[in-house]
A and B are shown apart, each in its own frame.
Chain A
Amino acid sequence: MNKASAALLFLFLGLWLGTGCRHEAQEPVDPCASGTTPLQLDLPAYAPPPVIPADNPLTVEGVALGRRLYYDTLLSLNGPYQGFACASCHHQDKAFTVPTAGTNVLSHANLGWSTHFLWNGGVEGTLEDVMRFEVEEFFQVDIQALRARPEYPALFRQAFGTCSITAREVAMALAQWMRRITSFNSRFDQYLRYEGTLSPQELSGMNLFLTEAGDCFHCHSLPLMTDNAFHNIGLDSIFSGTGVGRYAVTGNPFDLGAFKTPTLRNIAQTAPYMHDGRFQTLEEVLAFYSGGVHHSPSLDPIMTKPGTGLTLGLTPQQKADLVAFLHTLTDEDFLTDPALGSPF
């Protein structure tokens, strides 16, 4: 081979590499390139596989940025919640809720598997979608304020390789952070993994929960302790205002009074209970399920018990056992893990 033909071949090879194999061609020097480290969620074998969109993989940098944004009041310079951070209403030690009057705050535990968000499922899609809603509609985040801060542009550049911060990246970072908020180390989990035991009373409660006697499992299904669906459990028989629940979104009369099944993970930490916080204690909740269910045409079929009655008729002992079982769903690590707390 002479020099000229070798050069030609080289040229050909270079061209061919450049077009046929674009991903291997030399990268243009990008001043906004990201430097991300993939992050793997630490999940037990019985957890459903994580749902992670291809365009927003979990990274150490993305999660760290999301966490910072979540705890930063800078997000609420505008809009109706000035001075708030997300964490103002979502406290880690209360499983990311806070006791309120009015619409009850929903926990963040394992939201990565949700497909509908808010009590009435008003926001549908991925965590990215609901975070877009939080950023743009709920908080009306002032993106300019993030751009103007010394630290954020660099953090966004690291996480997403972008020089311009938009609502999209803010939502993506928050979504990564939300996906990281997983709770699978309660005493019940340890029992499921043969790492720990439950007391006889807790086991009795578990058996009530997981059989027709208590019939909780159909909606609070393992291991997320929610079926991610909507049900009218019979808190009321007449519905108005936000009490119409899912009906406000679908217009389906069978959705009247139906609300998102909340996870029961860390339930002992998240009083008050139900969408409107009407019950202060788990004992009140059990009294309701046992004998306080109201009839209405949209009452969930599961709430009509054998013989078409509405009462479970649990004994005081059975109710106490169920409450004891619910306490085993508390995940102390989750409530105290510094990695889930404020970075400030």
Chain B
Amino acid sequence: MSRFRLLLLLVLALAACKKDGPAPPQPQPASTASTLLLEHEVDAMGLAFDSILYVNAAGHAYGVTRLEYYLSGLTLLGSPGTPDLEIPGPWYVNAEGQTAFKLGTLPGGTYSGVAVQLGLPPGLNQTGALPATLENLNMAWPDPMGGGYHFMKFEGHFIHNGTAAGFAMHLGRNEQLVHCSMPATFTLDGTADTLALRFNLNEVFRNPHTYDLATGNQSMGSMVLMGLLRDNCADAFTFEHRP
């Protein structure tokens, strides 16, 4: 056997077993391993499910049994020298499930704020636009009601006439996409950063509208009620940069 054929064999063997061979050194990217983190609270209290612990602006005591929503269009607002950075998402958030999402590498710079949408952009808010995962399927907004997905399902019980009644704050339809904008000056400097968004559920029920669960316990069938929720949710998130 010639030296050449042996060499060829060796090369072939190496190629066939690439995954077991010694890995070539990777250049370290000098950038951030960032995370989007969602936190849920009701005014100063952390969110605990399944207990009627909270009181909203209209004075109703309530508890939470479900909180699922989509976020999309996360934008880090730039400053002189730093362009806006858009991270489209979307992210499906279940407050009882996954609330931290890897954003990977973000360019460094000084930013002046964060904007995000509660809901899906029109291009994704169409039946079948998202992968058919169980989560997405359960968030579907049926075609006879306009198609697409629920932007939010926030459900629980409130005390009404001395007993627990159900409420379901369901938000959907392109008109009801919630745009949130949070000014904040922060610098991404190449270390692992956490971009934390805190969702205060009491804001869903106040400012600018004091939302009355007794007359609006189900929002899904009503553009009017969903419009109130959309307006109220614009300031429901606060942002915190955690270097």
Contact = CB atoms under 8 A, between A and B. Distances in A.
A46 B142 CA distance: 14
B90 to A, nearest CB: 18
A123 to B, nearest CB: 18
Interface in A139-196: none
B16 interface: yes
Given A21-B16, A302-B166, A297 B157 contact: yes
Contacts of A308: 160, 165, 214, 217
B-side interface mostly: mixed
B138 A305 contact: no
A21 B142 CA distance: 52
Contacts of A13: 6, 9-10, 13
Interface string A211-227: 11000010001111001
B113 interface: no
Contacts of A206: 144
A306 interface: yes
Contacts of A21: 13, 16-17, 20
B128 interface: yes
B134 interface: yes
A69 to B, nearest CB: 28
Contacts of B138: 221, 227, 229
Contact of B133 (A9, A48, A223, A254): A48
B163 A297 contact: yes
A301 B155 contact: yes
B218 interface: yes
B164 interface: yes
A46 B133 CA distance: 10
Contacts, number: 105
A24 interface: yes
Contacts of B222: 306
A113 B137 CA distance: 12
B132 A295 contact: no
B143 interface: yes
A274 B117 CA distance: 40
Contacts of A305: 218
A306 B217 contact: yes
B221 interface: yes
Contact of B134 (A9, A22, A228, A304): A228
B145 interface: yes
A302 B160 contact: no
Contacts of B133: 48-49
A210 B217 contact: no
Interface of B: 1-3, 6, 9-10, 13, 16-17, 20-21, 50, 63, 65-66, 128, 131-134, 137-138, 140, 142-145, 155-157, 160, 163-168, 214-215, 217-218, 220-222
Interface of A: 1, 6, 9, 13, 16-17, 20-22, 24, 45-49, 113, 206-207, 210-212, 217, 221-224, 227-229, 252-254, 295, 297, 299-308
23 contacts: A13-B6, A20-B20, A21-B17, A46-B128, A46-B132, A49-B133, A210-B142, A211-B145, A222-B142, A254-B157, A297-B164, A299-B164, A301-B65, A301-B157, A302-B166, A304-B165, A304-B166, A304-B217, A304-B218, A306-B221, A307-B217, A308-B165, A308-B214
